[in-house]
Amino acid sequence: MHSRATVSKALRLRDEEGLGAVRVARILDLPIGTVRDWHAGKVPAHTRGRRLGEVVSPPCATCGQDQHQFTMLPQEYVYLLGLYLGDGTISSHPRGVFKLRVTLDVKYPGIVDECGEAMALIMPTSKVGRVLKPSNCFEVYAYSRAWPCLFPQHGPGPKHTRRIWLADWQERLAEKWPEALIRGMIHSDGHRFINTGRGGWRHPRYAFSNVSTDLTSIFCTACDCLDLHWTAALPKDETKAVTIYISRKDDVARMDEFVGPKA
């Protein structure tokens, strides 16, 4: 068992010097997986809640797990949030456990893998699984008591039938990593395509579509953080999806740096 001093130093290097798990593991001569677990909150019982002289914190009143360090969530969480807002659901299971599932098209194996990797990083104590559904989609899933705390948008009914908002701490993470949120939302409800015109004119373009104006607003706010110009196509029928386009050459080139065609 690693000493409390070792665990505390690994956390201090992250909190005070901003070092990632790989560098901390190299400095302290520890397994990278062990340091990643500690950084994700899975610390030994003798260290939990007492690092740097802190008083032991009570568990989360909602899920009974250790107190959540929302501000310490990594960039991968913001990407997973983008996927969840479009294609994710959370369902309750016995003994207070919840299942997060994200349904993704089988023809984009890279997105399926990236989703699973993000889930595993955010919830390292849970096994991430995937199952092929008859609809030719992969369901990527993991179980945890903490999912509703990490995704407070969870609620009864489809997302487009109820109000969806970001919690204050989610907004701060989205402002820190707007690229990750846009990438996740495009991977769920958007695409990159070639727009054509007369005389053989061709130009790449991005589009994000959703019936929920709350979700399109979240997407537009993330674009605003990066000064990406967008336009909205509003349907005459309110039950149809609103489509947000990013069309300017420089803006498309900027999005190509962190999104690109689906794969």
pTM above 0.85, yes or no: no
Residue positions counted in the chain? 263
Q: Write the pLDDT tens digit of every residue in 113-150.
A: 999 999 999 998 889 999 999 999 999 999 999 999 99
Which pLDDT score is estimated for 54?
Answer: 46
The pLDDT of residue 47:
58
Q: What's the confidence (pLDDT) of residue 83? A: 98
pLDDT in tens, 94-119: 888 999 999 999 999 999 999 999 99
Instruction: Output 248-252 pairs: Cβ under 8 A, ≥24 positions apart.
Output: 249/203, 252/203, 252/204, 252/205, 252/206
Q: Which residue has the higher pLDDT, 251 or 45?
A: 251
Cβ atoms of 249 and 176 within 8 Å: the answer is no
Give percent of the chain with pLDDT exceeding 70. 92
